[in-house]
Amino acid sequence: MKRGVWIILLFVTIFALSSCMQQNEKRMKKEDLKTKDDRSSYTFGIDLARKLTASPEFKLEAFLQGFKDEATDYPLLLSQEEIMKIKNEGKVQVAKKMEETSEGISPEENLKLGEAFLAENKNKEGVKVTPSGLQYKVIREGTGKKPNTTNTVKVDYKGTLINGEVFDSSYDNGEPLVFKLGQVIKGWQEGIRLMPVGSKYVLYIPSKWAYGERASGKIAANSALIFVVELLDIVK
């Protein structure tokens, strides 16, 4: 949990710093993105901005002002007491949200529910099981190349809990997801490597190959997950 918090803070800091710098420097042009690292960095910036601004609670102007005030030792608009109060209220809200998400089911009980679901699901028609325990079903078999973990891929997907509740969907977000395959959960790494470009699979992922003991939004600790994934392309 602490590691995840520090990663988020690092991303936020990078975003704020780049925003501040853009106020004093001219904008880059497409021809300035000469190298692969240039283009990857630019794409990372786009992806990060989309993630941050997707939250209705995120206010860019106020965020940048707070960042600049602290970074330049300018008098802060809030006292330390007010800042601590707001931070503590935020922690309470996060804890409450996670508690509501888990619906009172303990991680141990949730693990057993996932295992029972997968034990029954593996016997259903069309479901295949890999040696690791990942289950998948082919909806459509593509004819393109299969990716490896060093590739960047473009996918459309829908993620659900075993009770059918949707927790994330690129279809709802309005655009496919582009990412380096080696940087996502193990269940996606293994499952997508099985897919030729153009394929559409259902992946049934045990909790240990998903988020494990970590809770994330609607995903409670030790949740088995189901993803419908379409592999659209291997991005060069």
Q: What residues act catalytically?
A: 157, 167-168, 185, 211, 227
Q: Which helix (DSSP H) or strand (DSSP E) does residue 203 occupy?
A: strand 200-205
What is the phi-psi region of residue 206: left when phi exceeds 0, alpha when psi lies from -120 to 50, beta otherwise?
beta
Q: What is the DSSP letter of 143?
A: -
CA distances from 131 to 50, 55, 72, 128 (A): 37, 39, 55, 10
Q: Are strands 166-169 and 177-180 parallel, antiparallel or unpaired?
A: unpaired
CA distances from 97 to 24, 52, 82, 93, 132 (A): 40, 19, 23, 6, 32
Phi, psi dihedrals of residue 65, rounded to the nearest 5°: -65, -45
Question: Dihedral of the CA atoms 232, 51, 207, 112 (nearest 10)?
Answer: -120
**CA angle in degrees (0–180, nearest 5) for 75-90-93:** 165
Query: Which residue is associated with the tokens 């960095």?
Result: 41
